């Protein structure tokens, strides 16, 4: 009795096959029948039935092997992606190296799943049944295919399939006893439309007076662009990071040939219309007594340098983000974001941005902030510094990633314990957060800094690990501020999250056209990101605002701020 395993035929055909799955193998000289218990070499005949059975068996087995290989590939990519996300969760929310790795793995896994779905769709039903084998432990690790979640507010179109009124068998009358309902998600493609505004002229039969309704105001006076189209252009460019020349191609496919210069003019004039509202957002957010701040580089086209032959005509500017977000401690002030462009990294820019701000500034260790923390003549500091534990954690993670240092690993574990406490109190009022931190976090922070000082005396002073310890000890008061104020966050992640759209945009537009272009980008992101933070659809919000702002009373401009806004019934179709 042959042992279950790989069967091999001798002679003219050498074929391996899993003995657990009986099948036929053959060539011009022989036919191999492989089973669980035995295998046999037979002469190959011209019997069509036997040949069809051979082809069907080979197709089924090939589909099964292909499905198993795809499942293995998906499992590998899924596990790699899971490991990368766990690293991000444990070692730092904004590690650029891990972020890039996650993006690459997500793209690879997405391509693999699409290819798998495509191949499965092309396999005959019988082959799919034969290929349905998958180990149980792999099934649990494969990404689940959940049904799409669709909002209850999404329009639904009912299509009834009525079998008629007469029975197809006996001709009797049919009565309704129930129905089977299934849903299919579809998309109404974007479509251009021309809105014709016809103002009828009428004359009085008695006095011959001419009567006509005044022309309604337009988002951009003298322009033919409507509020809905203008909002779509702004959101596509500044939130979806779709350059205007690509939008022009899309509009052309819809039947509207809009020149690049016209799109540029519309964007610029729309931002001028929105300027008073953006200024109100900036004034309101920057007056907060607790702000998150961070910055990121942005490449800016420098035409002066290019004309002079200096470098490639591109310089490095900075985009600053200032965030108010009281949701983690149940504050009453609405969330908001302010973006500001600076042509360089000089401290004078942040001093100008924060000239009227008083209270607490949560930021990294940028030296330009130092003077803002100096006390005023009365001895009271205008701003108090709150440091970011996630930033310190990333320094230790980078060292652990390079050297697998046990000291760096312990530092990560100690900081991780603080985050465990924070997860339990997120969203709770400030007084509850403060009490929990005083009880649980304060002893751990004190122990961490005492341990840091002892370790610093034992390691080389010029290494990156020592540099991380010195950074934490030099800002000990800033790292400890969250222990005495329940409003202060443990890290600066709100500001770092606010800058992620800039990183996404860089992949599409590489650099801003000029300093003025980068300033426009910052103002547009201020109103769009603030709308998103307040749970609004930025396109619907901007469409409504642009449709009514020119007729809105200036002393009631606050009604149009994202946290106060409610759409007018007449502007809802335009916003959609």
Sign of CA dihedral 401, 494, 482, 282: positive
Mean pLDDT of the chain: 81
What does the chain come to in residues?
Answer: 576
Tell me the C-alpha distance between 310 and 300, whole Å.
14
Structure tokens at 292: 């998150």
Is 345 exposed, middle or buried, given 0-12, 13-18 or 19+ CB atoms closer than 10 A? middle
Long-range contacts of 504-510 (CB under 8 A, 24+ apart): 504/241, 505/241, 506/298, 506/299, 507/241, 508/241, 508/242, 508/243, 509/241, 509/243, 510/299
Pairing of strands 23-26, 359-362: unpaired
Tell me the C-alpha distance between 350 and 320, whole Å.
8
pLDDT digits (tens, 9 = 90+) for 198-248: 999 999 999 999 999 999 999 999 899 999 999 999 999 999 988 888 999
Determine contact, residues 239/223, Cβ cutoff 8 Å: no
Tell me the C-alpha distance between 113 and 223, whole Å.
46
Q: Of the candidates 348, 353, 385, which has an alpha carbon nearest to the alpha carbon of residue 492?
A: 385
Determine contact, residues 228/576, Cβ cutoff 8 Å: yes
**What is the chain's pLDDT, residue by residue, as a tens digit (576 residues)?**
444 333 434 443 434 444 444 444 444 444 444 443 444 444 566 788 888 888 888 888 888 887 777 676 666 666 666 666 666 555 554 555 556 555 555 555 555 555 555 555 554 444 433 333 333 343 444 445 667 888 888 889 999 999 999 999 998 999 999 999 988 888 888 889 999 999 999 999 999 999 999 999 999 998 999 999 999 999 999 999 888 889 999 999 999 999 988 998 999 999 999 999 999 999 999 999 999 999 999 888 776 665 554 445 677 889 999 999 999 999 999 999 999 999 999 999 999 999 999 999 999 989 999 999 998 888 888 999 999 999 999 999 999 989 999 999 999 999 999 999 999 999 999 999 999 999 999 999 999 999 999 999 999 988 999 999 999 999 999 999 999 999 999 999 999 999 988 877 765 554 555 667 888 899 999 999 999 999 999 999 999 999 999 999 989 999 999 999 998 875 434 433
b vs e for 467-498, b when ≥16 Cβ sit within 10 Å of the residue's Cβ? Answer: ebbebbeebeebbbbbbebbbbbbbbbbbbbb
Looking up tokens 């005492």 gives: 450
Tell me the C-alpha distance between 448 and 468, whole Å.
13
Tell me the C-alpha distance between 360 and 486, whole Å.
12
Close Cβ partners of 257 (under 8 Å, ≥ 6 residues apart): 251
Tell me the C-alpha distance between 292 and 383, whole Å.
12
pLDDT of residue 24: 44
Determine contact, residues 333/324, Cβ cutoff 8 Å: yes
Determine contact, residues 472/466, Cβ cutoff 8 Å: no
Structure tokens at 110: 């997405």
CA angle at 364 for the pair 358 and 369, rounded to the nearest 5°: 45
Q: Provide the 10 A C-beta neighbour count for residue 458.
A: 8
Pairing of strands 16-18, 314-324: unpaired
Tell me the C-alpha distance between 473 and 467, whole Å.
10
Determine contact, residues 54/40, Cβ cutoff 8 Å: no
Structure tokens at 121: 């769709």
Sign of CA dihedral 529, 531, 537, 538: negative
pLDDT of residue 193: 92
Q: What's the whole-model pTM score?
A: 0.74
Pairing of strands 359-362, 383-386: parallel
Residue 183, Cα to own-chain centre: how many angstroms? 28
């Amino acid at each position: 009795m042959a042992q279950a395993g790989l069967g091999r035929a001798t002679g003219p055909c050498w074929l391996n096959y899993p003995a657990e799955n009986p099948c036929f193998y053959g060539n011009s000289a022989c036919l191999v029948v492989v089973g669980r218990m035995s295998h046999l070499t037979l002469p190959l005949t011209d019997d069509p039935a036997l040949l069809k059975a051979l082809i069907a068996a080979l197709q089924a087995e090939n589909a099964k092997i292909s499905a198993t290989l795809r499942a293995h590939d998906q499992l590998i990519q899924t596990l790699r992606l899971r490991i990368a996300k766990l690293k991000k969760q444990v070692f730092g929310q904004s590690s650029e190296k891990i972020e890039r790795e996650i993006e690459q793995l997500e793209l690879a896994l997405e391509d693999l799943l699409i290819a798998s779905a495509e191949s499965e769709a092309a396999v005959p039903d019988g082959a799919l049944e034969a290929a349905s084998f998958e180990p149980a432990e792999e099934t649990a690790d494969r990404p689940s295919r959940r049904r799409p979640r669709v909002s209850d507010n999404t329009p639904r179109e009912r299509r009834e399939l009525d079998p008629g009124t007469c029975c197809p068998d006996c001709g009797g009358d049919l009565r309704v006893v129930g129905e089977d309902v299934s849903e299919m998600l579809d998309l109404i493609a974007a479509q251009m439309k021309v809105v014709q505004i016809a103002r009828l002229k009428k004359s009085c039969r008695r006095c011959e007076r001419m009567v006509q309704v005044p022309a309604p105001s337009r988002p951009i006076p003298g322009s033919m662009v409507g509020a809905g189209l203008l909002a779509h252009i702004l959101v596509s460019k500044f939130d979806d990071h779709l350059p205007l020349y690509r939008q022009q191609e899309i509009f052309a496919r819809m039947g509207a040939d809009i020149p690049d210069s016209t799109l540029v003019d519309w964007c610029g004039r729309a931002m001028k219309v929105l300027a008073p509202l953006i200024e109100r957002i900036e004034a309101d957010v920057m007056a907060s007594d607790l702000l998150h701040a961070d910055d990121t580089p942005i490449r800016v086209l420098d035409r002066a340098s290019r004309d002079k032959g200096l470098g490639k005509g591109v310089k490095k500017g900075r985009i600053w983000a200032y965030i108010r977000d009281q949701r983690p401690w149940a504050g009453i002030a609405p969330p908001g974001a302010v973006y500001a462009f600076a042509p360089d990294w000089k401290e004078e820019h942040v001093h100008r941005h924060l000239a009227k701000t008083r209270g607490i500034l949560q930021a990294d260790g940028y030296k330009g902030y130092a003077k803002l923390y100096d006390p005023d003549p009365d001895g009271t500091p205008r701003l108090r510094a709150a440091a970011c534990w996630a930033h310190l954690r990333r320094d230790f993670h980078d060292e652990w990633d390079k050297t697998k240092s046990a000291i760096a690993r312990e530092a990560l574990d100690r900081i991780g314990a603080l985050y465990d406490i924070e997860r339990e109190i997120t969203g709770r009022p400030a007084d509850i957060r403060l009490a929990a931190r005083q009880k649980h976090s304060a002893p751990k922070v004190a122990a961490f800094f005492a341990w840091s000082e002892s370790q610093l005396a034992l390691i080389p002073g010029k290494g990156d690990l020592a540099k991380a310890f010195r950074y934490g000890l030099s800002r000990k008061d800033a790292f400890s501020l969250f222990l005495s104020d329940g409003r202060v966050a443990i890290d600066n992640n709100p500001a770092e999250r606010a800058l992620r759209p800039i990183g996404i945009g860089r992949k599409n537009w590489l650099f801003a056209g000029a300093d003025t272009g980068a300033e426009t980008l910052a103002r547009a992101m201020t109103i769009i990101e603030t709308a998103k933070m307040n749970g609004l659809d930025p396109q619907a919000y901007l469409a409504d605002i642009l449709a009514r702002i020119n007729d809105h009373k200036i002393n009631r401009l606050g009604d149009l701020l994202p946290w106060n806004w409610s759409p007018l019934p007449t502007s809802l179709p335009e916003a959609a």
